[in-house]
Amino acid sequence: GAVVSQHPSRVICKSGTSVKIECRSLDFQATTMFWYRQFPKQSLMLMATSNEGSKATYEQGVEKDKFLINHASLTLSTLTVTSAHPEDSSFYICSAREGGRDRTHFSYEQYFGPGTRLTVT
Amino acid sequence: DAKTTQPTSMDCAEGRAANLPCNHSTISGNEYVYWYRQIHSQGPQYIIHGLKNNETNEMASLIITEDRKSSTLILPHATLRDTAVYYCIVRVARKGGATNKLIFGTGTLLAVQP
């Protein structure tokens, strides 16, 4: 159980275009999902917290208009990198925290997706 | 959340126990110690967590000092597939609207040698 998927696993896009990355919790509900970015040989950096049915909370220094997050259902959050540039090339990872609306299965644990490798040319 | 310090890298011989230390001297009473690992180009994988008592599961053991200022993750019989970056994270586990953010440090790169 507790599987998180990401799609696509790899994407190459041209500079100036937008790309959407999906994060799905496959066998549990997640009111909260998190988006991280990881550059080569560096640690994961938290970008934003995605809350189902409400606006995302962005970490300091992360442009909310560039990294659009939508958490429309309890099993899906999307990250759209708008007007991508080569410096946006990175490994994007999501995680999902188990917990439905009624909190009956509330868990503090986070489960991570396999990541999406974005390359902007 | 409190910060942690870990060695940058460690080597371990295959089949031997790998002991990964973590210092969290500013940990608060309500903060847990979590361990995750990240194999190259994959998402992090949860290993184990604890508050005060030592914990063991099918993957590893977690030894927390009595003053809770440091801990050690033990992989009892390391294999080549255990080569990864291991992250020690402390965070509060709380209910309600808290987001339970996980803040990753630099971690320890464990290289298991054949």
pLDDT tens, per residue, chain B with 114 residues:
668 999 999 999 999 999 999 999 999 888 889 999 999 989 999 999 999 989 999 999 999 999 999 999 999 999 999 999 999 999 876 554 445 678 899 999 999 999
| Residue indicated by tokens 């063991």 | B56
Cα distances from A101 to residues A73, B2, B100, B101, B107, in angstroms, run 11, 29, 16, 19, 34
Which of A58, A108, A118, A119 to mutate: most B Cβ within 10 Å? A108
A92 touches chain B (CB under 8 A): no
Written as one letter, the residue type at B16 is: R
- Residues in a beta bridge with A80: A20, A68
CB distance B41–A91 less than 8 Å? yes
